[in-house]
Amino acid sequence: MSRSSSQRASQVLQGQKRRRRQWLTFLRMVRYGINNFSRNAWLTIAATAVMTITLLIFFATMAAQNVLRDSVDEISNKVDMSIYLKSGTTETDAKTAISQLQQVDNVKSVRFISSDQARADYAEESKGDATALEALNEANNKFSAVLRVSLTDINKTDPLDDFVNNNVALKKIVNPDKKASFSGDRREAIKQIAEWTVLAQRIGLIASGIFIAISSLIIFNTIRMAIFSRKEEIQMMKLIGANKSFIRGPFIVEAVVYGFIAAILATAIGYGMLVLVNNKLGGSGIVLQPTIDLVIGYIGFVLLGMICLGGLIGIISSLFATRRYLKI
């Protein structure tokens, strides 16, 4: 009994000793990795620079996707259908039609604009046009009340068209002289832009995949070259009895440090570029502000994601690169 308990105690002690040794080995690998990083200045700068470019491409790609999406949304929001109602129709008269309209597939929102409001809007829009204002003052014809219907997907208008043509409640109040229209003549142009933007988004996704693959290959080769330049060192370590994980460890730590620094640099540069482009292209229709707000709002997650990505590329590259020198 006492013999078995002493055996158990010795096993526990050995286990503790082994864990302490593993922890010590891990700390040493980290120290060597950081030492290698700080003592190989040129290699460090080159590898960190390439890693920064890789991560910057990734950041820019993600930001561009977001900007494109926001720009499409912005365009979509500007496209709405105007259903002209009989002059003098009030919101109460149109209540049934509005509530039924809101149930139609793909309808995002419905806004009622009274005749007076429509007149006021026109006056506001024609502020610089003296002739138009004069005509407006002299004219006694009343403006039509309008229902402004905006859609979730501007390429899908069939359900709304069907509703406009067939709904009984709407037919009672609709102005028979004015056909419902999609942002007047601009509709086709806007639809075209939206289609092109969706296409650009798809192309951007493919292009960014290719960019990321190429830049990953470049960083892989840079780390491979860095390890190749130290292949004798690896062989020596093997010959004096270092096991594979002890040899690999510092290279992996070094690559993770590249990734860490590169992630911070790439995020800072990427954010700076977004702000700069936003200042230059403000008002051109390209919507950057939500992306900037997103980056700032989730800066912790963005940084963590970039660091994880950089670290992952570094780990995979160094694992592959050291593998060939670690046979026997």
Partner 1 sequence: MILLDRVTKSYGKDSSKPAINRVSLHIEPKEFVILVGTSGAGKSTLLKLLTREEKPTSGKIVVGGIDYDTLKDRHIPLLRRKIGVVFQDFKLLPQRTVFENIAFALEIAGMTNREIKSTVPKVIELVGLVGKEKQFPHQLSGGERQRVAIARAIVRQPKILIADEPTGNLDPKHSWDIVRLLEKINKYGTTVLLTTHNVDIVNKLKRRVITIEHGKIVSDQLQGSYRQ
- In whole angstroms, what is the distance from residue 121 CA to residue 115 CA? 10
**Residue 85 per-residue DSSP state:** B
Q: For partner 1, which is the closer residue by CB, 42 or 166?
A: 42
Closest distance to partner 1 from the beta carbon of 57 (Å): 31
Closer of 3 and 39 to partner 1 (Cβ): 39
CB of 245 to partner 1, least distance (A): 10
Which of 1, 130, 206, 328 is in the footprint of partner 1 by CB under 8 A? 328
205 is a site residue for partner 1 (CB under 8 A)? no
Shortest distance in whole angstroms from residue 35 CB to partner 1:
7
Nearest residue (CB) to partner 1, 45 versus 214: 45
Contact (Cβ atoms closer than 8 angstroms) between residue 145 and residue 114: yes
CB 227 within 8 A of CB 287: no
State the DSSP H helix or E strand holding residue 108, giving kind and residue range, or none if neither: strand 107-113
Interface map 219-258 toward partner 1 (x if CB under 8 A) = -------------xx-xxxxxxxxx--x------------
Residue with tokens 């004096």: 240
Given the complex with partner 1, which of 21 and 202 has the nearer CB atom?
Answer: 21
User: What character string, x for contact with partner 1 (CB under 8 A) and - otherwise, covers 12-51?
Assistant: ---------x--xx--x------xx--xx-----------
To partner 1, the closest distance from the beta carbon of 219 in angstroms equals 22
Query: In the bound complex, what is the minimum distance in angstroms from residue 323's beta carbon to partner 1?
Result: 14
| CA–CA distances in Å: residue 213 to residues 54, 62, 77, 216, 256 | 9, 14, 35, 5, 19
Total chain residues near partner 1 (CB under 8 A): 21
Per-residue CA distances from 42 to 48, 162, 178, 222 (Å): 10, 68, 73, 12
198: tokens are 């969706």
Q: Is 128 exposed, middle or buried (0-12, 13-18, 19+ CB in 10 A)?
A: exposed
In angstroms, the CA 86 to CA 89 distance is: 6
- 207 vs 65: CA distance, rounded Å: 11
Q: Between residues 108 and 238, which has the closer beta carbon with respect to partner 1?
A: 238
If the CB atoms of residues 177 and 232 are measured against partner 1, the closer one turns out to be 232
Closer of 21 and 111 to partner 1 (Cβ): 21
| Sequential DSSP letters for 70-83 | HHHHHHHHH-EEEE
130 vs 239, beta carbon nearer partner 1: 239
Q: Residue 7: exposed, middle, or buried by beta-carbon count in 10 A (0-12, 13-18, 19+)?
A: exposed
- Nearest approach, Cβ of 243 to partner 1 (angstroms)? 4
Q: Nearest approach, Cβ of 269 to partner 1 (angstroms)?
A: 30
Residues in the site for partner 1, rule: CB under 8 A?
21, 24-25, 28, 35-36, 39-40, 232-233, 235-243, 246, 328
